Structure 1
Amino acid sequence: MRDKLVGAILDGTKTSTTSMVMEYEVEDEAFPRTGTRQVVVDSFNRAVAVIETMDVQRVRLGAVPWEHARDEGEGYSSVSEWRVGHEHFWHSAEMRICLGCHIHGERWHSCGPGAVPSRYCALEVSVAMMQTDRTVKDSQPASKRRVYQWAG
């Protein structure tokens, strides 16, 4: 799955992503900001691209529009199908372990929890960066720089 999503970033199909507010709270991480650059890594943990955040919002899940869902490049045919797929992922055992929580009976419907939809553009990556696996320098300290690694 990771390489499929990374490929979609590289070919321009994937230009948006959505996180949960809870992810940032649990990881004590700052919300993304417009202009922030982040490294995208493949399944071999190699830096393959740098993305720059162009727009970020904090909304309830039900307020994420179809255009944003479509631009995630995952092939959903409607925003409701996208929501179901994302709720399924966010309720997965893998995600619960990642967040260090066990949610029993709670469902994240359109009224909550908060979603963080963001849009980005892929920037060209130099051969040197891909060979040395260096991270991009930006205004955030390295410890707070979000590196996208999609599980697969």
Structure 2
Amino acid sequence: MDPYQYLADFESKANQMQEQLEQSQEAFSNARGEASSSDGSVTVTVAGGGGIESIDLTARSLELGHTKLASTIMETIRQAQSQAARQVEESMKPLLGDGEAMNFLSEQVEASIARMQPDDEDSAASGGRPGSADEAEPDEYDEWQQRRRRGGTS
């Protein structure tokens, strides 16, 4: 084999890998997840690493009560983080290809998403819906909020 051709091929492959790496890094850094709750009261944006960038609440969120609002925020965060994790996974495909490394990454993403989901016991205790266990007996703050919305004071 011609050593000059070998070096030229090697350099070409190295340049290709460098381009793929740069593209993957850019896609990774641009990965974002955004999710909205089913009622539209909460919208969350997270970065590719899962860090929360923003939480937007609509006026509807004030009607939920603090327990339901908290569970709605948490569920929406989980949805956005799952979306961002899948984007990160996709950003690595050009670099990793369809081999063992990509399979490993996919398994790790799936495991992380599974860990983000609430325990079945928590869901069953609340009647299958986040926050529903406390909705039967609103606390003093929720009652105060309801009176306030109706125009009452104190």
TM-score of the aligned structures, taking structure 1 as reference length = 0.20
* Structure with greater helix share of residues: 2
Higher strand share: 1
Higher Cα radius of gyration: 2
**Please, what TM-score do these two structures have when normalized by structure 2?**
0.20
